[in-house]
Amino acid sequence: MTNQKEHTIINEILAGDASAFAGFVNRYKDRAVILAYNILLNQEDAEEVAQDAFVKAYSSLQTFRADAQFSTWLYRIVVNRALNKRKLKKYDRVEITESVSMELHSDIDDIASLQITGEHRKYIQHALQFLSVNERLCITLYYLNELSVEEVHQLTGITTSHIKVLLFRGRKNLYAVLHRHLKSEIRNLI
Amino acid sequence: MEQDKQLKAILFNSADGVSSMFTDAVMKKVKELPDASLQDQPLISPQLQKVFVFIFSVVVAAILGLCLIITVSDSHIGTLIQSVELPDLLLNKVLTFIFIFWFVFTINALFKKKVLSRKASNFKMH
């Protein structure tokens, strides 16, 4: 969906056609929920936050700037809401007892050769718990939501140099934990 | 690049699938919202605002034109303009009205702009 098309739909919504908003919900719901999930690590809360974010986006549409992208604006609302929820609920920190290997180059190659599917979800969810919130937030916005480092900076307020560090560290840690979980499957592949 | 794609796949599979009722739930909440929250009703219609802006522009252009004519033209045109007698009271009232109207209009526009930009910055994280 191009920017121009998005703005046409926004104008239709502002003119009173609420049903046109369903298109936006269908288009961005997966990424919005995953973004919230990677902050909260709880599916139910993630869906609730994403729903609230969509409703907030709808009710604030008249303040949406014509030069902005709807997705970036929506992700900002999702991030703010998820972080607020996280603060309010005081999520328990996961006790990390396992050490994360730092010799990762071979691990990354191994993981890259593996076809990651939904069947690996529990491993992925477990591996994500080993990352800090900022690491999860940055890698989700950068790799999944395909924002640039500059956009991630504008959205989160984290400096660009720190974002690069978080991306590097988060990626390494995620691969290291996943590698341990998926070792047997990798062995089967080799 | 291959690693980026792989990481995207990993992240895409991190959460369980979004429930099938998600869109319906959002749309239900959206339809329950009061209409007033979506659109602020303007005090005056945009067409009327355009008319005011046009009248203002004409008045400003006329004043500037007169100033220019008086400054550069022959002295007899200046005296001719000065000889036109306007009822002072009416002229004062008109000028005061125009001045106050546009002063308040400008202050309101500036204030509105400031409030909106503050609202937008609330979305930014600290």
Q: What is the pLDDT of residues B40-52, one digit of tens each?
A: 556 677 788 888 8
Are B118 and A148 a contacting pair, CB within 8 Å?
no
Which of B4, B30, B31 to substitute to test the interface with A, most A CBs within 10 Å? B30
Q: Note whether A55 contacts B119, CB cutoff 8 Å.
A: no
Q: How far apart are CA B88 and CA A96, in angstroms?
A: 86
Report the complex ipTM.
0.72
Q: How far apart are CA A138 and CA A147, in angstroms?
A: 9
pLDDT category at A117 given cuts 50, 70, 90 is low
Could you identify the residue written with the tokens 């529990």?
A122
Write the residue in A21, A22, A124 that is nearest to B10 by C-beta.
A124
Q: How far apart are CA A159 and CA A163, in angstroms?
A: 6
Confidence check: pLDDT of A77 > 90: yes
Position A187 scores a pLDDT of: 55
Counting residues of chain A whose pLDDT is more than 70, the rounded percentage is 78
Q: Write down the mean pLDDT value for chain A.
A: 79
Q: Note whether B38 contacts A111, CB cutoff 8 Å.
A: no
Q: How many helices (H) and strands (E) does chain A have?
A: 10, 0
Q: Which of residues 103-122 of A touch B (CB under 8 A)?
A: 108, 111-112, 116-118, 120-121
- A101: helix, coil or strand? coil
Position B119 scores a pLDDT of: 52
Q: How far apart are CA A153 and CA A139, in angstroms?
A: 12
More confident residue, B82 or A100: B82
Q: How far apart are CA B10 and CA A54, in angstroms?
A: 25
Q: How far apart are CA A128 and CA A34, in angstroms?
A: 12
Q: Report chain A residues whose CB lies below 8 A from the CB of B7.
A: 139, 143, 171, 174
Are B107 and B113 a contacting pair, CB within 8 Å?
no
Angle at A38 (CA atoms; ends A34, A40), nearest 5 degrees: 110
Q: Report chain B residues whose CB lies below 8 A from the CB of A73.
A: 123
Side chain identity, residue B71: T
